A and B are shown apart, each in its own frame.
Chain A
Amino acid sequence: MENIRNFSIIAHIDHGKSTLADRLIEYTGVSDPRTFKEQILDDMEIERERGITIKSRAISLPYQAPDGKVYTLNLIDTPGHVDFSYEVSRSLASCEGVLLLIDASQGVQAQTLANLYLAMEHNLVIIPVINKIDLPSADVERVVEQIATELALDPASHLRCSAKEGIGIEGILKAIVERIPPPKGDPEAPLAALIFDAQYDSFRGTVIHCRVFDGTVRPGDPIRFMSNGATYKVEEVGRFLLSRQKRPSLSAGEVGYIIAGVKTVSDVRTGDTITHELRPCTKPLPGFREVKPVVFASIYPISSDDYEDLAEALEKYKLNDAAFVYQKDSSAALGQGFRCGFLGLLHLEIVQERLEREFGLSIILSVPSVKYRFVLKNGSTVYVDNPAHYPDPAQIIKAEEPYIQAQMLLPERYLGGVMKLCQEKRGVNSTLLYPGPGRVELIYELPLAEVIYDFYDRFKSLTQGYGSFDYELIDYRESNLVLVDILVNGEKVDALSQIVHRDRARARALMACERLKEEIPRQMFKIAIQGAIGSEIIARTTISPFRKDVTAKCYGGDITRKRKLLEKQKKGKKRMKMIGQVSIPQSAFLAVLKSETQ
């Protein structure tokens, strides 16, 4: 155990986390240069494009230190978005230290600070590393000063590197060994292993990523998940190199994987504790939380012929995303589809993009919703996350919506704008703290529905990226809710229905109408777009028809060419959804979902 070090790299976006990971992997000789691919840890295309890591991963790096001993350095990667903050916390809980990476030309940024706080919460050893020192714009001295003043860390503790050029990598590896303490724990004690991730392998089922805190786990052991009591028999344990490497056991302090015949990743809960069935530990490791979707939306195929393909794609996607839930749903306007639950809007966008990119599907998303709670006259309480299931308004005694507590860290100069935004978003009970000079911590209670609508994008642009934002659900509070429907030529487009606060209804309806007006091409007849609460019209726009499209001449020699042209137009129309008599392009549905600021 003395020779093990468990660590993460944390950084603001684009400060070079993945590149540094690559260099460490390369330096320690794990990767074969012939198979080496840039940024091995972020191996999904979409992650690379967005510059974020969605699924955490781990890798064990063998390192021979100057003292001659060979150490196992377990690098645990973390996702970098507020939707996945729980996953980040579980990864950090598996470490004893972190490399806090800072871009030499950009200096300390919003996520640098937010990540530092996270690491501090877990009492981790923090090694500040200044990256990109080779850049002409690098200002290392300024960053060193920031480490002292803004991060309140010992400036003498920093390291310098250029991950891109491979400069300073040895120093980092040495520091990991020297400064990060070896894990503690007793290999003979009852088993306690923390699950920080799970992945689906089509041959082996679910591969559980874990950190063993106490005890030892071997193939053949009966194990139990402490959150739900499910039991399995261990088939294989091992460590991660570039691929899985089988081992006879995993013991206290080690990071690795367990394969135990678990069918899907949904059977595994991140943060859960694995113990031995026959000799369990007395209590689970701290910090477990059941991850529940908070944002809901329906997904429909543009062409109803693609329904089966969509069903299959969701089934496959689900294998690797435990946080994603879905069930069948149907829409009067859009036909058969699925109601899906997500951790947040980014999660939703990722699912949407992957369905389109990896499975080649054209899909339409309904307006995202949170889960509302209604107390009805018959005394029952119902939860509604789909506007289609909005209760009969005459039967509602009390309507409630979920609230969150938002924690925002930002430079003081942006405080005014952010407070205004929070108030506009119906925020209450604010608290203001000053954790350091020039920086404020703002705490607000906000309706979740307001936060998923367009809060995050506006927050980011208001703070020019310097603000960090995190939230947790706190409770349900009474609210004046209404169901807003959108009608196109009198036909309800149920996927665009939204449950909103009454004060928001008119503005939201009008915006949806305007957005649709921009996106729906002019057609042969006037199109009325309306927003309505029940039978009361609260917003209205119209799209005027085009007046002439017929070609002047059409004789024998023109017919074939013309038919081909019109067939092409037809094909274009078929990529749209026909609601009533009106062809609505996919972009119109997406436009309604977008925020006001975009």
Chain B
Amino acid sequence: MKKAGLYIHIPFCHSKCPYCDFYSLPSLTLKEEFLAALKVEMELYRGIFPLFNTLYIGGGTPSVLPPAEIGEIVNTAMNLFSFSSRHEVTMEVNPADIDLNYLRELKAAGVNRISLGVQSFDDSVLRFLGRRHNSLQALKAVEVTRKAGFSNFGLDLIYGVPIQQFSSWEESLSLAVHFQVPHLSCYQLSLSRETPLGRSVARGEIILPGQEETAKLMAFTTAYLEAAGYERYEVSNFAKGEAFRSRHNRKYWEDEPYLGLGPSAHSFDGSKKRWWNNDSVTLYIKSLREKKLPLADEEILNEKERMLECLFLGLRTKRGVSLKKLGGIPPERRNEAVNYLTKEGLATIKKGRLRPTAKGLALADGLAVWISTFAESPPSLGRLTP
């Protein structure tokens, strides 16, 4: 059995960012009841997976909680679930919330990896994104994180922001490289319709950069960071060496089991069942008071759905997808597809895995759809090549 990951969603923020569609409340009034409910949820799931090796505290903004409360959560998790000795404990923090003491206490509480929500080192971009911190706080956050003794940490950065000049993006990247940040997540700004910025885009008030431009930005980012010694191990994730990859996040892409706790969190049993919680703190508290899981829904995946998932998740990563996971495709048809992708420079075959090239990574979703459609369509009967 593969080792599982534990995700804990802290559904609180001091303020909502207009581009973010993660579930959270902008007030901490329900904090105590939530923490009590979280404990109950952990108890109810006791024994679900034999062994965990990652814990990820995300949100929301987990850094709205004091280190002691984080310590309490980590402790409860460690007591109720069995963790391997070399486990990763990541926490997302907002640069506005932290100082050296805060981070030292987190470290003492058992957190060993920090994900900093920097987003940009450019104040105008930070303002556009509605962030609480400024570029100075961002720089300081990097500094104190390291000072507090975290060698394993990462930054989130966003590109493709409407007001962002190319030079601003280049500047953010160069600062991250300069500070030798071991892990970088570089996300293209993508907006759901349910967010304030998403609605502005729908109304035509804001225009997002087009496909050609974002493709160029992505290619530039990749080239820049690879030249600086980073490995692009996933579409948006770069690490300075294998040790600094996010072990927790890899579970999502590599078909491994994970348990998600807290409102709106998703879980996967590692074979064919996915389930998820209600996105409501009040419902969450209410259910768990009655010792009931706050489930919203679940699904059991069939073989075709599984294969499509393995494809679109695996093809996001440098490792690619194991050909064994494509067992549902007739071998001849599979070879035909693989040969074609190889010929087009979209993927390579290595050690029984279909691995996307940089060109292929940018098209991971289309590749997944294409392969599974190709696999299910009948082969042509004849061919003529002039």
Contacts and interface: CB of A to CB of B under 8 A. Distances in A.
Given A491-B384, A525-B344, A559-B266, A554 B316 contact: yes
Contacts of A573: 369-370, 373
Interface string A531-571: 01001010000000011111111111101101100110110
Interface stretch (A11-19, A158-166, A431-439, A577-585): A577-585
Interface in A457-495: 485, 487, 490-492
A524 B386 contact: no
Contacts of B253: 554
Contact of A562 (B211, B218, B312): B312
Contacts of A491: 380, 383-384
Nearest to A494: B382
Nearest to A560: B274
Given A556-B252, A583-B373, A490 B190 contact: no
Contacts of B380: 332-333, 491, 579-580
A547 to B, nearest CB: 4
B378 A304 contact: yes
A574 interface: yes
A547 B363 contact: yes
Given A546-B366, A566-B312, A567-B308, A554 B252 contact: yes
Contact of B384 (A330, A492, A546, A548): A492
B238 interface: no
B266 A557 contact: yes
Interface string B361-386: 11111111110111011101111111
Contacts of B305: 563, 567
A550 B265 contact: no
Contacts of B42: none
A525 B362 CA distance: 12
Nearest to B315: A550
Contacts of B212: 547
Contact of B386 (A537, A559, A581): A537
A553 B372 CA distance: 22
B34 interface: no
A537 B385 CA distance: 11
Nearest to A571: B373
B299 A560 contact: yes
Interface in B252-304: 252-253, 258, 260, 264-268, 274, 276, 299
B364 A570 contact: no
A556 B187 contact: no
A550 B384 CA distance: 33
A110 to B, nearest CB: 46
Interface of A is mostly: mixed
A556 B7 contact: yes
A573 B384 CA distance: 24
Contacts of B252: 554-556, 559
B280 to A, nearest CB: 15
A439 B188 CA distance: 68
Contacts of A532: 386
A287 interface: no
B214 interface: yes
Nearest to A581: B340
B236 interface: yes
Contact of A556 (B268, B362, B381): B268
Nearest to B185: A553
A559 B252 CA distance: 8
A386 interface: no
Contacts of A487: 384, 386
Contacts of A149: none
A245 interface: no
Nearest to A555: B252
Interface string B183-214: 00001111000000000000000000001101
B174 interface: no
Contact of B266 (A547, A560, A569, A570): A560
Nearest to B192: A561
B369 to A, nearest CB: 5
A552 B265 contact: no
Nearest to B336: A581
A523 interface: yes
Given A332-B380, A490-B386, A570 B188 contact: no
A549 B363 contact: yes
A335 interface: yes
B53 interface: no
A273 B249 CA distance: 83
Nearest to A566: B369
A485 B384 contact: yes
B211 A550 contact: no
Contacts of B142: none
A537 B363 CA distance: 31
A563 B383 contact: no
Given A550-B364, A557-B276, A332 B266 contact: no
Interface string B15-42: 0000000100000000000000000000
Contacts of A523: 366, 370
Contact of A554 (B313, B378, B385): B313
Contacts of B236: 552-553
A563 B308 contact: yes
A576 B316 CA distance: 26
Listed from nearest, the 3 A-B pairs whose CB atoms lie closest are A332-B382, A548-B215, A547-B215
Given A549-B362, A552-B236, 19 more contacts: A490-B384, A492-B383, A532-B386, A535-B386, A537-B386, A546-B366, A550-B361, A550-B362, A554-B253, A555-B249, A556-B252, A560-B276, A566-B308, A570-B369, A573-B373, A578-B373, A579-B380, A580-B380, A581-B337
19 contacts: A332-B383, A333-B380, A335-B378, A524-B367, A530-B386, A548-B214, A548-B215, A548-B218, A549-B211, A550-B363, A553-B190, A556-B265, A556-B266, A563-B308, A563-B309, A563-B312, A573-B370, A578-B377, A581-B374
Interface of A: 304, 330-333, 335, 485, 487, 490-492, 523-526, 530, 532, 535, 537, 546-557, 559-560, 562-563, 566-567, 569-570, 573-574, 578-581, 583
